[in-house]
Amino acid sequence: MILSSHFNYWIVIVLMMIGFFIVISHGNLVKKLMGLSIFQTSVFILYISMGKVAGGTAPILDEAYSVYSNPLPHVLILTAIVVGIATTALGLALVVRINEAYGSIEEGDIEMQDCDKLDKENANK
């Protein structure tokens, strides 16, 4: 019973965990951003699936229908998608700058370079 009525949450959770896994385990910053966007989409799906009413249609009023899905989650997610792309663009811009400064977008390389720099500074002192 629970299986058929809660499947939407399960999908959301699986997607969310995939995104989370990518963010944690991959060193590449672009890949991390992709993971983040998967995570984001899973949240969108959660909201939208909660707004769905069984037997309802899209919330564009019409004489012929009486049951509509809830418009509020749609509004929230609509703006969230556009804001999401804006923030992704910002993240990508940061990645580009990091690449220019360090010559790499792998997390490990960047940390190594930082450590080297710190060591040198300490040695100078």
Partner 1 sequence: MATAIAIARVKDLFASVMLTGIYSLLSAVFFVLMDAVDVAFTEASVGAGISTILMLSTLTLTGQYEDPTRHKTRTALVVVLVTGALLIFGTADMPRFGDPQTPVQTHVGPHYLEKSYEEIHVPNVVTSVLASYRGFDTFGETVVIFAAGIGVLSLLGFSGRKEKTTISVSAPMYQHRILRVVGKVLIPPILLFALYVQFHGDFGPGGGFQAGVIFAAAIILYTMLFGRQAAEEVIKLSWVRLLAAVGVMLYGSVGLISFLNGKNFLDYSALAADAVSGQHYGILLVELGVGITVTAVMILVFFSFAGRVDKKAEENE
Partner 2 sequence: MFIAAAAALLISMLFALSRAFLGPSIYDRILSVNMFGTKTVLLIAVLGFMMGRPEFLDIAIVYALINFISIIGILRFFEYTHPPVVNSSEQNGESDS
Contact residues for partner 2 (CB under 8 A)? 57-58, 60
Nearer CB in complex with partner 2: 1/60? 60
45: its two tokens: 């799906």
Nearest approach, Cβ of residue 114 and partner 1 (Å): 15
Which DSSP symbol is given to 1?
-
Nearer CB in complex with partner 2: 64/123? 64
Contact indicator for 51, 73 with CB cutoff of 8 Å? yes
Q: Which does 36 bind (CB under 5 to 8 A by kind): partner 2, partner 1, none?
A: none
CA dihedral 81, 46, 14, 32 (to 10 degrees): 20
